[in-house]
A and B are shown apart, each in its own frame.
Chain A
Amino acid sequence: MNVLRINGLSKRYGRIKAVDELDLTIEKGMAFGILGPNGSGKTTTLGMVLGITQRSGGEYEWFEGQYGQDYRRHLGALLETPNFYPYLNAVDNLGIVAHIKRVKQPRMQELLELVNLWHRRDSKFRTYSLGMKQRLAIAAAMVGDPEVLIFDEPTNGLDPQGIAEVRDTLQRIAETGKTIIMASHILDEVEKVCSHVAIIKNGRLLASGTVGAIISEDFLVEVAAEDMQALQQAFAQDARVNKAELQEGQLLLHLQEEVPPAALNEWAFSKGFTLSHLRVVKKSLETEFLEITSSDR
């Protein structure tokens, strides 16, 4: 079943196109990441499909239309900042969420324990740290056990410990098989939590598919020898090598799968090259993401 289908969705602020003819389909059970740099239109897109930002064009449909306009009660969403009544405590704030969702008996204790806030349930929201506020928002999103959870930059502005706590919570939720839609500019986060990803920039869709298909998983090795040209030619003919490119005086090999460095060294020696440099490169996923987003404009 399609959870969300977006067709040609657009938002213009005057001359600026924040979202430009976006198409996406998200199916039940996916952990779907929307990845893009700041200002790429992620929050605007989520704002439109949640009905708080008016769209300039296009259409969207939740749950194949089975709940009509009342779809939001079947979603749990955290958009940008955690928004609660500062003069109410955690339980009262969740009580309001439960009232709106018409959940008769919200499992407050279970929810607040999940996000590690049960011991602070009687403190007013305004006394919370940013990390606690964010975690309360995650608990609020889960009130009534909604079918789909939406998180927008869930670790934004948190310290390393807060980030670790929130990610840990998200991973636990994802493992329960719920549909998750998460917008983020941090690739690592998306990679840890999501099964599918769409990359957007300047409001346009650049790529979409499974995380494995979008993010190249080549095994990278840097090598160098005296005659770089000959080395490149030799490796380019090897079937294990997808691509061999010269970079800053070194040869970067894209291998289909992991190969022990010793085997590479041996192979090079058998071809008459003595390697002066051999290093396995852990290519940062962030670099990959930057490559995808900068290749277009």
Chain B
Amino acid sequence: MLYLLRLEWKKLNKQIAFRLFVIFYVLMLPSILLTAKRLGDLPPPLMTNEVFFIFPTVWEYLGYIGNWLCFFFFGFMAIISVTTEYSYRTMRQNIITGMSRRQYFLGKLYWILAVSLFAALYYALCGFVIGFFSTETIYWHKVWQNADYIPRYFLMCFGYMSFGLFLGLLIRKTGLALFLYISYIMFLELVLRWGVHLQLFEHRSMHFYPMNATEDLVPIPMLDMADEFISKYGFSIYLQPGEAAVATLVYSSLLLYLAYRRVVYSDL
């Protein structure tokens, strides 16, 4: 495993796109949240901006920002890490040089696991630091109250990256894969869920779509709209974290299995 991870590191650490994505993520995750320091009084139910920074709610707000950043930067990174290998024909060369196709796929899988781990650990670090300096009196049970957000965050990032890896290996073209990635997550799945599924069956199964499950691991922390939704349809706008986790694992496994078959059985 380390052998394959070191190989991926050698391939990618000097790639400009990779460096930019990491730098943007590292800078933007805390700084976007901290821009809220400039906000003064807020309308109810928040009242003050304090809720963004203190334990335990810092996990929710920071997590939601990270949700967007992971969707963009790490999803894109997963796509680009394979589509560029098709366009440079280096994937084919790696195999000729001596890797097995299975090893090649495992290298990519370990890579997205490692990046997701990095993303989640950095999220945990930022959460702790911001929470620590913003909360007046620290109660440890409050700090840990929402700490299940850390593994959920990891799984969310892994979910986006699995989808990215799947599209990259399937489509092979950077531009088209990125276009499908964005348009599926931002438009197509929303249309399917709200425009088709909800109209046909008013049932909470409308939430069990792959990328929605991933998103719901770290959901929007505004509860207003959520309450409105419950009173109208009789079920929550979000999946339970456990359901979202299981759904993400199932979908990711399926997508990765299909990607694996693509690597093993196609002409390169």
Contacts and interface: CB of A to CB of B under 8 A. Distances in A.
A96 interface: yes
A50 interface: yes
A136 B55 CA distance: 56
A72 B97 contact: yes
A51 interface: yes
Interface stretch (A2-10, A29-37, A75-83, A108-116): A75-83
A83 B266 contact: no
B88 A86 contact: yes
A171 interface: no
Contacts of A50: 95-96
A51 B88 contact: no
Contacts of B96: 50-52, 72, 77, 79
Q: How large is the interface on A (under 10, 10 to 19, 20 to 34, 35 or more residues)?
A: 20 to 34
A59 interface: no
Nearest to A95: B10
Q: Taking each of A85, A97, A101, A140, which has the highest tally of chain B beta carbons within 10 Å of its own beta carbon? A: A85
B14 interface: yes
A92 B10 contact: yes
A216 to B, nearest CB: 36
A69 B16 CA distance: 35
Interface of B: 3, 6-7, 10-11, 14-16, 88-90, 92-101, 265-268
Given A75-B98, A77-B96, A140-B97, 16 more contacts: A52-B92, A52-B267, A52-B268, A54-B265, A54-B266, A69-B100, A83-B88, A83-B89, A83-B93, A85-B11, A86-B88, A96-B11, A97-B97, A99-B10, A100-B97, A100-B98
29 contacts: A51-B96, A52-B95, A52-B96, A52-B267, A53-B268, A54-B265, A54-B266, A72-B95, A72-B96, A72-B97, A72-B99, A73-B97, A73-B98, A79-B96, A83-B89, A83-B93, A84-B88, A85-B15, A85-B88, A85-B90, A86-B88, A87-B14, A87-B16, A92-B14, A99-B6, A99-B10, A100-B7, A100-B98, A101-B98
